[in-house]
């Protein structure tokens, strides 16, 4: 069984002719792209291990060089792939910080313990972090990840206590 993976970047396109690729960074830990780091590249059913040879900032992302990728043809073969690490290799979350993969499956309840749904993910949006709560019947509610709406997160108990505005879960 393959261990769960975290996507830390997406290969967008080749950059230049020497095998460098443009990467959209999807992690808060850019050291994931330090030379010597091993990443799993995957696209659909394809997957292979890559070793970072170099990385440099470019625009809002990175230009990445990987071992064995020496020309534009090899770089083009990586285009559209995800760069992943094993979930077990995730950096420990700083105090008050939660990963999307970490809260997925947490029980969401109100202050009285009434079940509101199950956490399906935590996403960064232009409006701020949003918790997706699966409320049943295929419906989801987007909950702003902010105090006073998110009252408490209990890692050990795998639950999130919410105080949502009236009507949020009825939409």
Judge whether residue 136 has pLDDT over 90.
no
Question: 161-166 contacts: CB < 8 A, separation 24 or more?
Answer: 161/109, 161/110, 161/111, 162/108, 162/109, 162/110, 162/116, 162/133, 163/110, 163/111, 164/110, 164/116
pLDDT per residue as tens digits for the range 28-85: 788 889 999 999 999 999 999 999 999 999 988 999 999 999 999 999 999 999 999 8
What the chain holds in terms of domains, given with CATH numbers, is 5-89 (2.40.30.60), 100-170 (2.30.30.240)
pTM of the model: 0.68
Q: Which helix (H) or strand (E) holds 73?
A: helix 72-78
């Amino acid at each position: 069984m393959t261990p769960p993976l975290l996507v830390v970047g997406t290969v967008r396109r080749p950059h230049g002719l020497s095998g460098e690729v443009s990467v959209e960074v999807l992690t808060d830990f850019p050291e994931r792209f330090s030379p010597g780091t091993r990443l799993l590249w995957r696209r659909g059913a394809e997957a292979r291990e890559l070793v970072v040879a170099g990385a440099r900032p470019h625009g809002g992302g990175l230009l990445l060089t990987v071992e064995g990728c020496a020309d534009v043809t090899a770089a083009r073969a990586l285009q559209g792939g995800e760069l992943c690490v094993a979930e077990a290799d995730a950096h420990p979350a700083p105090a008050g910080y939660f990963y999307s993969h970490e809260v997925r499956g947490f029980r969401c309840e109100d202050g009285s313990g009434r079940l509101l749904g199950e956490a399906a993910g935590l996403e960064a949006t232009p409006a701020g972090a949003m918790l997706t709560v699966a409320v049943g019947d295929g419906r989801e509610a987007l909950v702003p990840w902010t105090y006073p709406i998110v009252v408490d997160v209990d890692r050990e108990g795998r639950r999130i206590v919410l105080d949502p505005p009236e009507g949020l879960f009825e939409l």
